[in-house]
Amino acid sequence: MNLQKQQRLVIDALEDTKAQDIKVFNTTGLTGLFDRVIIASGTSNRQTRAIASHVAEQAKKQGLEIVAFEGEDTGEWVLIDLGDIVVHCMQPAIRSYYNLEEIWGAKPVRVKLLPTGPAQASDFDEDFPEE
**pLDDT, position 112:** 77
Q: Judge whether residue 124 has pLDDT over 90.
A: no
Residue 65 CB partners (closer than 8 Å, separation 6+) = 82, 83
Domain 3-104 falls under CATH 3.60.9.10: no
Domain spans, the chain: 3-104
Q: What is the average pLDDT across 16-43?
A: 94
**SS3 letters for the chain?**
CCHHHHHHHHHHHHHHCCCEEEEEEECCCCCCCCCEEEEEECCCHHHHHHHHHHHHHHHHHCCCCCCEEECCCCCCEEEEECCCEEEEEECHHHHHHHCHHHHHCCCECCCECCCCCCCCCCECCCCCCCC
The string of pLDDT tens digits covering residues 90-117 is 999 999 999 999 988 878 888 877 775 4
21-25, 63-67, 90-94, 125-129, range with the lowest pLDDT: 125-129
The string of pLDDT tens digits covering residues 33-88 is 999 999 999 999 999 999 999 999 999 999 999 999 999 999 999 999 999 999 99
**pLDDT, position 130:** 38
Q: Could you give phi then psi for residue 86, rounded to 5 degrees? A: -115, 125
What is the distance between the alpha carbons of residues 27 and 56, in angstroms, rounded to a whole number?
21
Q: What is the pTM of this model?
A: 0.84
What is the distance between the alpha carbons of residues 39 and 57, in angstroms, rounded to a whole number?
17
**pLDDT, position 116:** 56
Q: Judge whether residue 20 has pLDDT over 70.
A: yes
